[in-house]
Structure 1
Amino acid sequence: MSPDAREDTCAVCGGPAAQRCANCRAARYCGRAHQRAHWKDGHKAACHPYVVLTSPALGRHWVAARDIKAGEVLLEERPLVVGPKAGSPPVCLACYAPVTDGRTCSACGWPVCGARCEMAPVHRLAECPLIAGQYDARRSAVYCFVTPLRCMLLDSSEGDRRAAFRSLQSHLDRRIGTPLYQAYAINVAAFVLDRLGLRRLADSDGGPHDERSALEATAVLDTNAFEVRREGGRKFRAVYSQASMMAHSCTPNTKHVFVGDPADGCPVIRITAAVAIGLGCPVTATYTQTLWCTRDRLRHLQSAKCFECACPRCTDPTELGTHLGSIACRACATGRVPITADGPWQCTGCGRRTDDSGGDGVAEAEHHVRSLSRADGAGFERFVKQVYASEWLPLHAGHYVTVGAKYALAQLYSNRISELTPAQLKYNTKICEELLWLADVLEPGITRFRGLLLFYLVRGLKQLNRVTKTKQNNYETIKNYTEEAVVILKTEPDLVHLIEQLQ
């Protein structure tokens, strides 16, 4: 009998197992000696507090193998493939920093930061020999083929990475007839196969490169890639083997950050439990934005990820009681009308039914908010106050357009904290507390959204105490908010520096 033949046998010797790994709860051992031996022999890399299961509804997904505490790091993983986004502006092909000084690779002529990036294996050993003379800054889609090409060039020396990448879902059959993939057939498939000559080269398995393989690589990227944002304006995408298998939820129980040198073009992804996760519960991430309404989240998931979300938030017309996508009732003003796919819709207050989804009014409000300068504090203040005064019906205080304006105002206030009047500081407190309630429902726990809101709130309360020079009786509240903010900010590498401003 092999060591792995039975769940109750030692993973090393196959003998009776009296103990199991405390972290993953999967591997079993006859004693400490074999547990230590197995750890050194490869279990360390595979030991996680989750297991990967498969279901018809979720496909491959993570499930907690034990009770997980909030703040636990579940995974740190290097990427399978990294590269520029399809619509990227001119960036270095190794570290993805914006390039404006005209520096180029001496071998291929594409933008790089300097000699170090020019010689980086991610570029020099991948596309560099193929793309000489092909850079044209006038083409809007000039970078769209680079990352798919890197995926296609994964060879037999990178067998584990290649196999892991090819095992990921692509949904290509659902994408292939769309306008986007018709464009990719020209700008990616035809370009790399015919312009770069990849059609004449055998792939790493000895088979031909063809349009299907090029579009398959592109679709795997679109389905699984994470957007990476790093210091210095770096924006690019990366695919991770394990992290890509987490199920989506619009109220996720994990968050992810990217760690390591900000200039490193191969960032490690760190997955952290945002809240406690019970044994047997799905471990989830989100592919959308918290402050999007259900309509916008579903549209994005359908077009970008090719699935229909059925999480508790998406299946609740009230969005878990937040009414982020509901409109204000024109009859009673205080009621909310949840807008679903099909009307007529009914007010939760007075019960009135209506065929008016409020689409025109919402679109006008969205256009107005987008037209405001990010520095126009007075404009955001005026808009939010007008919503509260029912001057922007069918919007209400908790509508997603209003909430977006409030969040922009909280950020703006934080950047100008020393210039704010006592009235503005009190208004900052009101806005932040309202948004914290929303965070508690939609993105609770140790999350970036909640951490930033606490930061804005604490700074505003401290400044209010300073400018009013009166005892506010809020020192205990400030202390508690500060302690929670510090816990969260410590888990966000690019926000750690904010902690100094809370002291």
Structure 2
Amino acid sequence: MAESEKTCAECNEPAELMCSACKLVSYCSKEHQKEHWKTHKSLCKPFEIQTTSDKGKCLVATRDLSPNDQIICDYPIVFGPRPHVVEEGPVPCPGCCRLIIAESAPRCEGCDWPVCNPNCPGLKDVNKHAHECYILGLRPTKAQKNLHNFYRQDALLTLRILLFQKRNQKKWQQILEMESHMDKRGEGTDTYKHVQERIVKYIQENFVTPLRDIGKQTGQELLLDDSDETIQKICGIIDVNSMEINQDAELSALYPTAYLMEHSCICNTYHVFDDEDQNYKITVRAALPIKKGDHITTMYTHALWGTQARREHLMETKYFECSCPRCSDPTELGTYLSALRCLGTENEPCGGTQLPIDPLDYKTEWACDKCKVKVNNAEVAMLVNQIGEEVDQIQLSKPTVKELNEMLKKVLTFLHPHHYHVYSLKHSLVQLYGYQQGYMPNQISDELLLEKAEMCRDLLETTRKIDPGNSRLCLYTAVLLHELHLANVYYIKRKWHTEDKEVLARLFREAKRSLEDAKKVLEHETTCAAGEKLRHLVESSEKDANKWINNHSEEVNELLEQIKESLNV
């Protein structure tokens, strides 16, 4: 409908306002928008909640959705510091969840807890710290002396939820309706024992017991249900349904609708958190085209893990086995992210690729596509885990280009060139070429520039297959696009008067498109510090490239005229 043809859904008069959520109806005034809401609200949401036998409650699209269409806008029911299991180091401020050094931090006047600032707004907010402040002050003196004890026990979020049963019955019921999977983590399981010792016992001794004593003295119960079973259930709900937020703080949050999004290793949504006023609103948008009737999905694990690692993580933390198209495909959609090199017979390697016969079977054998050699899954897991530990170790040690190349050569003896551990090493390498001493722009060889560019292209191809909507790997993709641009630009500057013009044209077009794509990819990263930093880098590189082009405008224009057809100008 043309702009001039829009009419108010309430009175049919010309309208300029539009429903910001669905963009399907217009209004002449905010008053008519409010009046029409009773009719429109059931149509506005682009999803409905359904229950299936295999997935339980889930969200299903009620109309076709295009990329970037808004699906959900939720404020958290509750949020709190993300579980910390370290004995030392920073702890979260109970008011805002920002990490602080407890030993040198100021204290909350009410409960004497370490805080980021005595004037932290969250300390006086009844929806954050203010309500729990008195209860935190009840902990015995012995517990108060150990500043890390509380956070090591991961108890604050659990306690906040426990207090809802008297303070906010609506939120209490909302949370209790969420899946806890107590049938899989109940009494007798290792998880139950771990939670009992780590959280339940701590809450009972430090907070529930003092609250019971106060209740006896005042004749008023402060907790309706403080049983071990209820606390266990709350812990299960947090583990299964909470979303992690890492934006100037580390916290977990439970959302009233977003928690219903099911998992897929190729998900069709992306989400951002708005930490304005530290309320952590989540906005979920379509990352890919979603057809009416499609399930609305997100991803509960890391997109750059292999199938075995992803499925094991999902089973251990979310209690289900993923059988999505990526997990079901031995090649992981043609990426070979989990594939091994076949070591062949005793004489020499056959050059084949080792893949799982049935990736959904934890006991599957891995077969070579060239010879008859087979390896059992346990042996593969042991090898991949060992290599993973070595790769993680070198990544954390601020390695040199030489060290990364040596590790890359070593792992390629066992892993396919597209394996996810190889991806990790290559992604680090492209960020060192052009930056590390000995490989600075004026030092790196032509051959390495071409190798860097080819490495970027190879990694981008893999990334696009496993994250086609740029929903999970925006930063990885943007880094690769930026580094591809730089590699091409450095090479063009060097070879401007000697290289074949057709080659330069191809590199020039790719460099230009890479920066444009990087800016587009980073549109999803609106509140991430790393995304903001990368945006500045991209803008800076664009200015540098434009400056060089302006200084060579006559030659550049001549080149563009010569190859206008190949550039699609």
Task: Return the TM-score normalized by structure 2.
Answer: 0.75
> CA offset at residue 360 of structure 1?
4.9
Whether 1:209 and 2:226 are equivalent positions in the alignment is: yes
Distance in 2, Cα, partners of 1:159 & 1:360: 48
Whether 1:124 and 2:129 are equivalent positions in the alignment is: yes
Please say if residues 335 and 349 of structure 1, whose CA atoms lie closer than 8 Å, have aligned partners that are also in contact: yes
> CA offset at residue 140 of structure 1?
8.0
Return 423-432 or 351-360, whichever deviates more. Answer: 351-360
Query: Residue 98 of structure 1 corresponds to which residue in structure 2?
Result: 99
2:517 to 481, 484, 491: 484
Query: Residue 440 of structure 1 corresponds to which residue in structure 2?
Result: 464
Distance in 2, Cα, partners of 1:450 & 1:203: 54
Whether 1:244 and 2:245 are equivalent positions in the alignment is: no
Please say if residues 337 and 346 of structure 1, whose CA atoms lie closer than 8 Å, have aligned partners that are also in contact: yes
Give the unaligned 5+ runs of structure 1.
1-10, 13-20
Deviations 1:131-162 (A, max 9, x none): 22544235385351111001111246534433
> CA offset at residue 170 of structure 1?
0.8
Query: Residue 365 of structure 1 corresponds to which residue in structure 2?
Result: 387
> CA offset at residue 464 of structure 1?
3.7
Distance in 1, Cα, partners of 2:455 & 2:339: 20
Please say if residues 374 and 408 of structure 1, whose CA atoms lie closer than 8 Å, have aligned partners that are also in contact: no
Deviations 1:256-290 (A, max 9, x none): 221233xx543111212221112211111011111
Please say if residues 96 and 265 of structure 1, whose CA atoms lie closer than 8 Å, have aligned partners that are also in contact: no
> 1:362/1:178 Cα in 2 relative to 1: closer, same or farther (>3 Å)?
same
> 1:430/1:478 Cα in 2 relative to 1: closer, same or farther (>3 Å)?
same
Distance in 2, Cα, partners of 1:291 & 1:110: 39
Instruction: Summarize the alignment of residues 81-92 of structure 1 with structure 2, pairs less than 5 Å apart.
Output: 81-87=78-84, 89-92=90-93
Please say if residues 254 and 272 of structure 1, whose CA atoms lie closer than 8 Å, have aligned partners that are also in contact: yes
Deviations 1:145-195 (A, max 9, x none): 111001111246534433322211111231133333313213322322332
> CA offset at residue 73 of structure 1?
2.6
Instruction: Letter of the 1:478 partner, please give it.
Output: A
Instruction: Letter of the 2:206 partner, please give it.
Output: R
Query: Residue 407 of structure 1 corresponds to which residue in structure 2?
Result: 427
> CA offset at residue 416 of structure 1?
5.2
2:50 aligns to what SS in structure 1?
A: strand
Query: Residue 235 of structure 1 corresponds to which residue in structure 2?
Result: 250
Please say if residues 353 and 369 of structure 2, whose CA atoms lie closer than 8 Å, have aligned partners that are also in contact: yes
Please say if residues 289 and 297 of structure 1, whose CA atoms lie closer than 8 Å, have aligned partners that are also in contact: yes
Distance in 2, Cα, partners of 1:393 & 1:153: 56
> 1:163/1:364 Cα in 2 relative to 1: closer, same or farther (>3 Å)?
closer
> 1:306/1:343 Cα in 2 relative to 1: closer, same or farther (>3 Å)?
closer
> 1:64/1:105 Cα in 2 relative to 1: closer, same or farther (>3 Å)?
same
> 1:360/1:75 Cα in 2 relative to 1: closer, same or farther (>3 Å)?
closer
Please say if residues 344 and 355 of structure 1, whose CA atoms lie closer than 8 Å, have aligned partners that are also in contact: yes
1:276 aligns to what SS in structure 2?
A: coil
Q: Considering only CA atoms, is the larger Rg found in Structure 1 or Structure 2?
A: 2
Whether 1:258 and 2:280 are equivalent positions in the alignment is: no
Give the unaligned 5+ runs of structure 2.
1-8, 11-18, 543-569
> 1:77/1:400 Cα in 2 relative to 1: closer, same or farther (>3 Å)?
same
Return 267-276 or 377-386, whichever deviates more. Answer: 377-386
Return 85-94 or 353-362, whichever deviates more. Answer: 353-362
Distance in 2, Cα, partners of 1:41 & 1:170: 34
Query: Residue 16 of structure 1 corresponds to which residue in structure 2?
Result: none
Please say if residues 252 and 284 of structure 1, whose CA atoms lie closer than 8 Å, have aligned partners that are also in contact: yes
Instruction: Letter of the 1:113 partner, please give it.
Output: C
Return 249-258 or 126-135, whichever deviates more. Answer: 126-135
Whether 1:276 and 2:273 are equivalent positions in the alignment is: no
> CA offset at residue 501 of structure 1?
2.5
> 1:419/1:186 Cα in 2 relative to 1: closer, same or farther (>3 Å)?
same
Query: Residue 549 of structure 2 corresponds to which residue in structure 1?
Result: none
Instruction: Summarize the alignment of residues 168-317 of structure 1 with structure 2, pairs less than 5 Å apart.
Output: 168-176=178-186, 177-197=188-208, 200=212, 207-231=224-248, 234-261=249-276, 264-317=277-330
Deviations 1:65-110 (A, max 9, x none): 1111112232221111111122164121122222123222121121
> CA offset at residue 123 of structure 1?
4.0
Query: Residue 381 of structure 1 corresponds to which residue in structure 2?
Result: 405
Query: Residue 456 of structure 1 corresponds to which residue in structure 2?
Result: 483
2:135 aligns to what SS in structure 1?
A: coil
Instruction: Summarize the alignment of residues 3-42 of structure 1 with structure 2, pairs less than 5 Å apart.
Output: 36-37=33-34, 39-40=36-37
Return 299-308 or 439-448, whichever deviates more. Answer: 439-448
Instruction: Letter of the 1:180 partner, please give it.
Output: T
Instruction: Letter of the 1:309 partner, please give it.
Output: C
Distance in 2, Cα, partners of 1:278 & 1:22: 21
Please say if residues 244 and 253 of structure 2, whose CA atoms lie closer than 8 Å, have aligned partners that are also in contact: yes
> CA offset at residue 33 of structure 1?
11
Measured on the aligned residues, the alpha-carbon RMSD in Å equals 3.3
Deviations 1:23-69 (A, max 9, x none): 769x999xx99983455459569832222211111111111211111
Please say if residues 92 and 113 of structure 1, whose CA atoms lie closer than 8 Å, have aligned partners that are also in contact: yes
1:127 aligns to what SS in structure 2?
A: helix
Return 352-361 or 433-442, whichever deviates more. Answer: 352-361
Please say if residues 108 and 131 of structure 1, whose CA atoms lie closer than 8 Å, have aligned partners that are also in contact: yes
> CA offset at residue 358 of structure 1?
4.0
